[in-house]
Structures are given as C-alpha cells and as structure tokens.
Amino acid sequence: MPGSDEVRLSAPATTELPRLARLTASGLACRLGFSYDEVEDLRLAIDELCFSLIGTQGRPGVVHLMFSLDDETLQVEGTLESGERGPDPVHSGLSRKILEALVDEHEVRRNGQDQLTFWMRKRRLPIAG
C-alpha cells in the first residue's frame, strides 16, 4: 500500500486488549484529522469488534492487531490466535447494525481452525470550514 503507514501490535486476549486497541486506533485517527465524533465512533467500533473475538471476559490466546492508514482512511485488523478451535465469533444482527453505523466497512469471520478475525475500515469526512 504505497504512502501508507502500518502499526502492528500483539497482546494477550485479555480484557485489557480493547483499551490498548482503542488508544492505538484513536492516536492514529488523530493523525488523520478525525473529528471528535469520528474518534468516539471508532472507539465504540473497536470495543464491539474486540468483543466479537474475545467476549467481555477475554479468551486464551493472543490477538494480533494491524492498523494501517493512508491519507484519510484507517483500517484495523485483529486476529485471535487461540491454538485450538474456540467458539465462533460473536457477531449478532444487532452487532452488525451497530458497526454499520460506526464504520464504513467491517467483517468478522472464522479464519481457519484456530483463528478469528475482524477487519474494519473508517474514512474521515472532509473537514468543512
């Protein structure tokens, strides 16, 4: 991806993960000039997506996060590697509806036997005035 930056983080799939992901995502969004409204939406989306992988209590395993950004778009991918076939990702109809309002695109899927993955993309609106 020419002209883009990438940040990669790996962390245990514990309840601390959403905070780490929120902080990183909002820091990068800030570099792209996201508004407060957009940053708050992003933070909510990250919480919802982390939940889809590790629930509210965390799971055994490691989550690899990859943040990539270009001029106006932030993409975040998270993969839970559990080393065993765990439960399916949590991605209810309500969760989908919530994420549709918060980000431009998203996906949550099982990725092989022992991996769950989420992906999202959020583009900042042009700044008026």
Partner 1 sequence: MGVDNAQREELRQKFVALAESGDPAIRRELVEAHLGLAEYLARRFSHRGEPVDDLVQVSSMALLKAVDRFDPGRGVEFSTYATHTIAGELKRHFRDKGWAVRAPRRMQELYLTLGDSIGRLSQELGRSPTIAELAAETRVSEEEVLEALEAGQAYRLASLDAPAPGEDEGETLASHLGDEDPRMSAAEERATLSPLIEALPPRQQLILHLRFFEGLTQLEIAGRLGISQMHVSRLLARSLAELRTAAEQG
Binding site for partner 1 (CB under 8 A): 19, 22-23, 26-27, 29-30, 33-41, 43-44, 47-48, 51, 55-57, 90, 92-94, 97-98, 101, 127-129
- State in angstroms the smallest separation of the CB of 44 from partner 1: 6
Instruction: Give residue 25's identity as a one-letter amino acid code.
Output: A
- State in angstroms the smallest separation of the CB of 10 from partner 1: 21
- State in angstroms the smallest separation of the CB of 33 from partner 1: 5
CA nearest neighbour of 13 among 75, 57, 66, 68: 57
Give dist(CA 70, CA 32) in Å, integer.
Answer: 8
First to last CA, the chain: 30
Q: Tell me the sheet residues that pair with 77.
A: 66, 119
Nearer residue to partner 1 within complex by CB, 1 or 101: 101
Specify the DSSP element, H or E, that contains 42.
helix 36-54
Nearer residue to partner 1 within complex by CB, 98 or 113: 98
Nearer residue to partner 1 within complex by CB, 87 or 112: 87
Nearer residue to partner 1 within complex by CB, 2 or 93: 93
CA angle, 66 then 68 then 71, to 5°: 170
